[in-house]
Amino acid sequence: MRLSANLSLIVIGGGYAAPMLIVFNPAAGAGRRRRLSRALATLVRRGLRPDLAETRGPGDAESLARDAAGRGVPVVVAAGGDGTIAEVAAGLAGSAAALGVLPLGTANVLAWELGLPPGPEGAAEVVAAGRAALLRPGVARFADGRQRLFVQMLGAGFDAAVVAGLDLGLKRRIGRLAYVAQSLRELLRYDFPPIEAEIDGATGQAASVIVTKGRLYGGRYLLAPDADPLAPGFRVVVFRRAGALHAALAGAALPLGLIPRLPGVEVVAASRIRLSAAAPVAVQADGDPVGSLPVEVTDAPGPLRILR
């Protein structure tokens, strides 16, 4: 991790002088760094001088954000993909610090969800303006005592198997196409072990489950039309039918916004979800592999301020 020595003073929303930290995930290479430079240039033009910290591995973004919030830094900006944003959000949970977003990842689902500008200059203008809303993250609790905060969604089953098997080097080279390639591989080998889903006390069986705070999945693709990341609770997308054919149909329906209309798919509003399975079933959260079932999902204890 690299942290600049002196924390500069900036103006947030034109109201007061305060420090800001940008947590940057440089994993995608030179292209991501160039977009960060464009965002920083915009902030400088607005008279801001934020500090920059770079992550070196999993958990760094959360640690950097928690340390900054503990020192009273009022704005911490996640510069990276959805996984980096989720880590920074976890580090800020329970604090008064606000989360800013510079969407530099592959899918940038939360940024699309909140209507943030996709370009680095526009996103930096949102950070500089400093207008905040209350984001309501979810939290996943695993049997081994671990907890994982997520800002967009958690998946168990086929999509989590795709995330777990993804070649990160290939993802850096070809972006979203790496997910397509891995999905095709999983269609040939994933055996769809049944998942026991308890949703607000009602139980049933599923082939895959996605618990989402927002409407979108994988970018701008519609998954749960009535979801709202600024409201308590979740939408649970339950895929009842197992097998490669049904998974392939879901993959074809996703870019058309037709997932909620597929036979065997239910979208249910819920506040507490418990997922378990007799066989090992992978779990992903905000596009990162986070373990395996069983898992219990609820709202995080409190909301998080986010600049939008």
pLDDT digits (tens, 9 = 90+) for 43-63: 999 988 899 999 998 899 999
Ranges in the chain, pLDDT < 70: 1-18, 28-29
Last residue of a domain, one of 75, 96, 130: 130
Q: Is the pTM of this model over 0.85?
A: yes
Based on the fold, state whether residues 180 and 99 are members of the same structural domain.
Answer: no
Question: Do residues 88 and 214 share a domain?
Answer: no
pLDDT on residue 108? 92
pLDDT of residue 63: 97
Q: Are residue 144 and residue 287 in the same domain, yes or no?
A: yes
φ, ψ for residue 94, nearest 5 deg: 85, 0
- Judgement on whether residues 147 and 271 belong to the same structural domain of the protein: yes
Containing domain of residue 56, as a range? 2-130
Q: Which pLDDT score, from 0 to 100, does residue 12 have?
A: 39
Regarding whether 186 and 166 lie in a shared domain, the answer is yes
* Number of independent structural domains in the chain: 2
The CA distance from 83 to 88, in Å, is: 9
CATH number of 266's domain: 2.60.200.40
φ and ψ of 202, to 5 deg: -90, 130
